[in-house]
């Protein structure tokens, strides 16, 4: 079984932009969580990784009015 969800139905584009805005706005609160999760020496690197992820998702799912990229869900069953 397979079903396709385009950006027009799924909120990847707008959600990702909103997550980026919220992360940037709350970075002083988020940094200690990243330091605990990824280590103090790696927090800045991981902040950059997450920013890159949010920007990439927004750009990919926003391209061509959201009709170019999509999410496909697959339901597998044992043979």
DSSP β-bridge partners for residue 73: 3
Measured at the CA of 57, the angle between CA 68 and CA 19, to 5 degrees, comes to: 140
Q: Name the pTM for this structure.
A: 0.76
- Residue 63: band (very low, low, confident or very high) from pLDDT cuts 50, 70, 90: confident
* pLDDT on residue 61: 81
Domain boundaries, the chain: 2-74
Q: Is the pLDDT of residue 53 over 60?
A: yes
Average pLDDT value over all residues in the chain: 87
- DSSP 8-state assignment for residue 68: S
């Amino acid at each position: 079984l397979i079903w396709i969800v385009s950006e027009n139905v799924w909120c990847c584009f707008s959600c990702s932009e909103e997550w980026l805005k919220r992360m940037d706005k709350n970075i002083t609160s988020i940094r200690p969580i990243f330091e605990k999760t990824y280590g103090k020496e790696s927090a800045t690197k991981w902040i950059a990784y997450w920013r890159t992820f949010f920007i990439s998702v927004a750009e990919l799912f926003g391209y061509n009015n959201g009709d170019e990229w999509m999410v496909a869900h697959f339901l597998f069953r044992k043979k």
